[in-house]
Structure 1
Amino acid sequence: MTLPNPVISFTGILSKLTPKPRRRAQAVRRAAATTTRLVPALFGPADRPQTAFIECPAWCAADHMDRMEHFDDIDHYSERVNVAHVHSFTLDWDHSELESFISADPAANDERIRQTHIRFGDGSGEDAYLTADDADQLADEFIRFAARLRDQAAIVRAHKAGQ
């Protein structure tokens, strides 16, 4: 009895789960649409909350009915994309986590933060603020990093096989 090659099987499964480039491009275009919608936002003291309708970008996933103390604390953010959960075999928890999300804070003092941008974090509480070009450059660096990481994994496997 011949068992299927796990790499080929996994690749076959992955190809079914990974969106086709054309569908992905369509989804990105829809998400990138500059359209906004009016949504209710709750703000003010807990004993006297007020509701106002605000313009909200199509990509925003925030529930603006989660009460904010001040109207200018209302900001916009997309769903978070988890880039990696790095698990160490010497720890019982994830060593680190990387995530990114689209953000805009209309009341920020810094004009760049008022504009739509990408926030990138590692769970430390201090995010990096990226332009679209910065994010493209970081994505390219991750691709190079992933290739080097695979090279290291191959060396470790070859070394273990020779032991």
Structure 2
Amino acid sequence: MSTTVQPPADQPAPLTDRHIVPAVVDGQTVYLECPTWCTIDHVRDSQKFLVDVWHSGAFADLEAPRRNGTPSLLAYARLGLDSFSEDDDMRRPFIFVEDGSSGEDSYMDAEHAEQFADNLVAFARNIRAMASAMRGVTA
């Protein structure tokens, strides 16, 4: 037996680019709306409760090269949506950013994400200026 499950009627975020996909919840196949950017296989990533079904886009990684070694992952970000969450904020699309080690994370709306991106651009500009200055220094 399968069932089509809809997010709550008061879903605050429009999901204009979506499709209906199968998901396994408590061993049962259900069909739910899934954003086209979601990369989760909701059948393989089965959940015990519907409220635990969430959507995630591809990850964007921020890595720093090292002089003698492999790059270090400084942070990663992804687009997310928890359609069935009891938390209204999680039922709206968000960008999730975490450093991957400290447990510190940020859930951002579009305005915050754009501000964060502006901060990254300024940070990159400063790093380029440091690299430029470093090239003129002899040891």
Shorter chain as denominator, the TM-score bin is 0.7 to 0.9
Q: Does 1:42 align with 2:19?
A: no
Query: Equivalent pairs: percent with the same residue?
Result: 29
Q: CA deviation at 1:57?
A: 1.2
Gaps of 5+ in 2: 1-14
Within 5 Å, give how 1:88-127 maps onto structure 2. Answer: 88-89=66-67, 92-124=69-101, 125-127=103-105
TM-score, length basis structure 1: 0.69
- Are the aligned partners of 2:79 and 2:94 in contact in 1 as well (CA < 8 Å)? yes
Structure of larger gyration radius: 1
**Aligned 8 A contact 1:42 1:51 in 2:** yes
Task: Please state how far the C-alpha of 1:93 moved relative to its aligned partner.
Answer: 4.8
Structure 1: any 5+ residue segments left out of the alignment?
1-32
User: Is contact 1:39-1:53 (8 Å) kept?
Assistant: yes
Structure with more of its chain in strand, by fraction: 2
Contact 2:38–2:58 under 8 Å retained in 1: yes
Q: How far did residue 110 of structure 1 move?
A: 2.1
CA distance in 2, matches of 1:38, 1:107: 15
Residue 136 of structure 2: SS of its match in structure 1? helix
Alignment root-mean-square deviation, CA: 2.0
Q: Number of matched residues?
A: 124
Q: 1:54 aligns with which of 8, 28, 32?
A: 32
- 1:8-157 alignment runs, 5 A limit: 34-44=16-26, 49-66=27-44, 67-82=46-61, 84-89=62-67, 92-124=69-101, 125-157=103-135
More helix by share: 1
Tell me the TM-score normalized by structure 2.
Answer: 0.79
Q: Tell me how far apart the structure 1 counterparts of residues 72 and 18 of structure 2 sit (CA, whole Å).
A: 38
Q: Bigger relative contact order, structure 1 or 2, given CA contacts below 8 A and separation 6+? A: 2
Q: CA deviation at 1:39?
A: 0.2
Q: Which secondary structure does the structure 2 equivalent of 1:153 belong to?
A: helix
